[in-house]
Amino acid sequence: MPELLLSSPARVFARATIVAFSTADLASLQSLGSPPEGASLELGSFEGYDPHADPLGPARRALDDYLAGHVDIPPAIDFDAIRPRV
């Protein structure tokens, strides 16, 4: 779920597994460097998601620019509108 990539007060705990549901989400996470405190990243599956498609489409670049610190304001992405309904 790409919205989980945005900054939040949630803490990633040691040895946590961060699951991405598309290869594009996984690549965005990997661009941030190693997971914190020994956490791990993996590609998972979730009903209704195509792991090889990019759920964000052209908005991915705006998200990656924000995550990389190139812009200060997160992109206005309506995640509920793009989330698959199952």
- DSSP code, position 85: P
Where do the H-state alpha helices sit in the chain? 23-30, 59-67, 79-82
Task: Dump strand ranges (E) for 10-75.
Answer: 17-20, 40-43
Residues of the domain holding 26: 2-9+17-82
End-to-end CA distance of the chain: 14
Q: How many domains does the chain have?
A: 1
Q: What is the chain's mean pLDDT, rounded?
A: 83
CA dihedral 47, 17, 61, 83 (to 10 degrees): 20
Q: So what's the pLDDT on residue 62?
A: 93
Flag whether pLDDT at 34 surpasses 90: no
Q: Is the pTM of this model over 0.85?
A: no
